[in-house]
Structure 1
């Protein structure tokens, strides 16, 4: 049993959830499948928001996510959470499902006999630990190493020579290696060659433009259907297009027979499925299906699909908050969010993609230039994904949409849950 070791000076700290909001950053395995998220807590109590890992922030968000259910924040994945000495010596671990979290020991932690004893106690209780931002094999690292499973390296802080030495050393000690701040495919390849097990960063969301790249037959069929819907083609023409693609037919019927759609009886025909979904939902589903190509190659929970679905939902929810009665605003915002990663998906410039799929000028401007209200919503979502780098730009956008930190937190958790659910049912 985990003892209550909350220091008396921290015992009176209130769990003021409304002063914090949450960001999550994806962690991928060697197959580039999503396996975890690092959870970052941002202090929004007063003045410019700051990323923080102090006891108040950590305890607040943990308490709140435990009430929501951790699965709403991380889905089927693990959650990595930073812990310092104050958090380690506190009693917040009663809120944490030990099978769902990895505790990251921050690099500023000063190792003491009491800290080592506490970590050993938590390990015995079933908690897993990672060492964060390791840059040396100093005495503190050597003392902690037997108690941790994972060692994290920040690529920005590590010369290649030091990385080569330390990765070999920690691999020999049978530790899993995690590279963070992986921002380019070349960095990913280097870390893959060095034997890293996990990768954190947005390299997978960066477009790598390939000349002469062509869409797959399935993606071409989906783009054709999207244009038919935009041009208000009749139902028979849309049904005919769906039936020409066996994979689309199968996935459409699978979708409409899920509990979320709410069909009262089993739907077995494409025409019934199209009537049940309606044009707006069909368009949304097609946009999501564009990202499903890697799923056909056996990849589970592809990060690009999850990120695109989560962005789309977050923009839709922001639009609904701004103007609750304007359904068209919310639909367009969703389209901007989910299309914002199609240059990465297709390895094509966004302008070239927009030549193939018809969108309004305001949507086009948002995707190409991040301008207009949709562009500002998209920039807000992108800054939230990189909350540790966003600075005052994020605060300005939150004020622009008149969102309280509690509003934003609630919208984020809803978007996280929806995006993860879509990825699970699509792949």
Structure 2
């Protein structure tokens, strides 16, 4: 196993209940995850020697908030909903040069993602309900990607085998 994904949960519900129309809602969720991990919980007990995938918002990334966290313990996860602009790209490049790992979450190719593909160390693809051909089509634009591929939401051994055959590194 490479890492754990740490997700925000609000109360007793199994979902985050983050208001995507309110940009500060995501900021608060990420801040809560970071605060819990680094102040209220024993990071070593939770993570052992593994990393933590943490979702970061556009605001947190352009403010270099991940720079406050240990680069050897986290993977900066860029959600598919994050606004892509030159400020974001510049800050992700800077974080990557400092040694932070960058992951693109729920990747579905769009032209505007090209600069992020060049920066990313890991690309996460949700393979739920996809057959081998559909997964392969998701990978077509990544033929020059030098990082690692992570398959999310594998439901059975058959789909796992397809992902192995297609070159995924993490599951």
State the shift of 1:167 in Å: 2.3
- Is residue 15 of structure 2 the alignment partner of residue 43 of structure 1? no
Q: Do the aligned residues in 2 keep the contact of 1:66 with 1:95 (CA within 8 Å)?
A: no
State the shift of 1:159 in Å: 5.2
C-alpha offsets along residues 136-170 of structure 1, whole Å, 9 cap, x if unaligned? 2x222212111101111101264543421332542
Alignment of 1:208-227 (within 5 A): none
In structure 2, which of residues 86, 108, 112 is the aligned counterpart of residue 140 of structure 1? 112
2:21 maps to what in 1? none
User: Partners in 1 of 2:76 and 2:129 — Cα distance?
Assistant: 21
The Cα RMSD (Å) is 2.2
The alignment of Structure 1 onto Structure 2 pairs a total of residues equal to 163
Q: Which stretches of structure 1, 4 residues or more, deviate above 4 A after TM superposition?
A: none
User: Partners in 2 of 1:65 and 1:37 — Cα distance?
Assistant: 12
C-alpha offsets along residues 343-362 of structure 1, whole Å, 9 cap, x if unaligned? xxxxxxxxxxxxxxxxxxxx
User: Partners in 2 of 1:57 and 1:172 — Cα distance?
Assistant: 34
Alignment of 1:210-249 (within 5 A): none
1:59 maps to what in 2? 31
Gaps of 5+ in 2: 19-24
User: Partners in 2 of 1:69 and 1:126 — Cα distance?
Assistant: 24
Of structures 1 and 2, the one with the larger relative CO (CA 8 A, separation 6+) is 1
State the shift of 1:70 in Å: 2.7
- Is residue 66 of structure 2 the alignment partner of residue 80 of structure 1? no
Alignment of 1:133-212 (within 5 A): 133-136=106-109, 138-156=110-128, 158=130, 160-199=132-171
Gaps of 5+ in 1: 1-33, 200-427
Q: Name the SS of the counterpart of 2:124 in structure 1.
A: strand
TM-score (normalizing by structure 1): 0.36
Q: Do the aligned residues in 1 keep the contact of 2:128 with 2:155 (CA within 8 Å)?
A: no
User: Partners in 1 of 2:68 and 2:36 — Cα distance?
Assistant: 9
Q: Do the aligned residues in 1 keep the contact of 2:78 with 2:105 (CA within 8 Å)?
A: yes
User: Partners in 1 of 2:62 and 2:123 — Cα distance?
Assistant: 22
State the shift of 1:78 in Å: 1.3
Alignment of 1:338-353 (within 5 A): none
Higher strand content, 1 or 2: 2
TM-score (normalizing by structure 2): 0.83
State the shift of 1:179 in Å: 0.3
